[in-house]
Structure 1
């Protein structure tokens, strides 16, 4: 973890009680409710809104599958393939494969949003732990605790998202074999899966 994060968290923790932080006398106990609870509730509310919007978008909107120099391509909620705005002629089996592909993408998007909610929670957890450490006089292991929480969430992302990639790749390959128009968009490789599992995968 960046060594600048800990001082910043300690400063944030001190802000609501600047008068206490700047005096020699022992600080008063921090109530369980108050600014930390408000911040936590606000973050939770915002992340729940994001998660809901992602679910709604995955259920009702076209999913963009183009990445790079390929022609614009989307899969509709009904399982149609649109390339450059043109509907590609498909049969029932191909539609089923396209709907399966949408399902994989929707799962990964929704799961990513849920994991993101947990990640956002680290911020309020960290502030709470910082406050507790200040008042207990033990800040030595604070950074390790925060990093352990972040590592747990990162591992969950690997398990949930990277674990889905083999099925997504097989689905892509089946679509490319059945529907030539889809072939340029079947770009997941075993190397991508290996990199994801090794923690090197990036959406950038």
Structure 2
């Protein structure tokens, strides 16, 4: 899981909406209602997509080589290096451990550990989905108003500042919560590495990654 700038990403989600919300020349006073309906549709579509993403996490295989947990620029480089030449590895919802589609021999204890690890990573990923949805909802709420206010805010920059402030209030505590789950993930990786040698190459989370997560949150939001 690589770190991405949260506020710019949330703002990018709004660009298509802002384009749709601009009043056409000669539009009547119903433009405010049209903007409101467009934003309501955007909320509905986003919620459906987020629910589908969560369902896919529960029912699909967890791909380890694509879900390395690293944060910051150094973590991104480490993740790419660590997983560049690894075979595709997955943990199924039943707790099977697959490498290149082939089930590895595991005992009941290893299956429990695999399921525990899968559960932690899915929990973190779902939390990330919730953060994205919460931030986007907050940004849409900040935008949802009269079209005159929307245009004035966009021209003066106050709209962007209001969106950033609102998204920050919603997102920062939740991101810190994800950082605080990472020690449990690292411990789970270490247990699996000790009991299941085939898993060892995929146990790439380190103490530095956990520190980078907290530091990255501080840096990201200190400038907002």
How many residue pairs match? The answer is 188
Equivalent residue for 1:72? 88
RMSD: 3.3
Specify every segment of 5 or more residues in structure 2 that has no aligned partner in the other structure, as ranges: 1-6, 66-82, 219-224
Equivalent residue for 2:47? 48
Using structure 2 for the length normalisation, give the TM-score: 0.70
1:199 aligned counterpart, secondary structure = helix
Kindly name which structure, 1 or 2, has the bigger radius of gyration based on alpha carbons: 1
The answer to which structure, 1 or 2, has the higher relative contact order (CA under 8 A, 6+ apart) is 2
Specify every segment of 5 or more residues in structure 1 that has no aligned partner in the other structure, as ranges: 21-26
User: Is this contact kept in 2: 1:39–1:124, CA < 8 A?
Assistant: no
User: Is this contact kept in 1: 2:190–2:203, CA < 8 A?
Assistant: yes
1:19-41 CA-to-partner distances (Å, cap 9, x unmatched) read 47xxxxxx96975xx22322222
User: Is this contact kept in 2: 1:40–1:121, CA < 8 A?
Assistant: no
1:74 aligned counterpart, secondary structure = strand
User: Is this contact kept in 1: 2:88–2:100, CA < 8 A?
Assistant: yes
Of 12, 15, 21 in structure 1, the residue corresponding to residue 22 of structure 2 is: 15
Name the CA shift for 1:157/1:18 in 2 (closer, same or farther; >3 Å). Answer: farther
Provide the rounded CA distance (Å) in 2 between the counterparts of 1:177 and 1:156: 34
Equivalent residue for 1:198? 215
Q: Which has the higher helix share?
A: 2
Provide the rounded CA distance (Å) in 2 between the counterparts of 1:134 and 1:180: 57
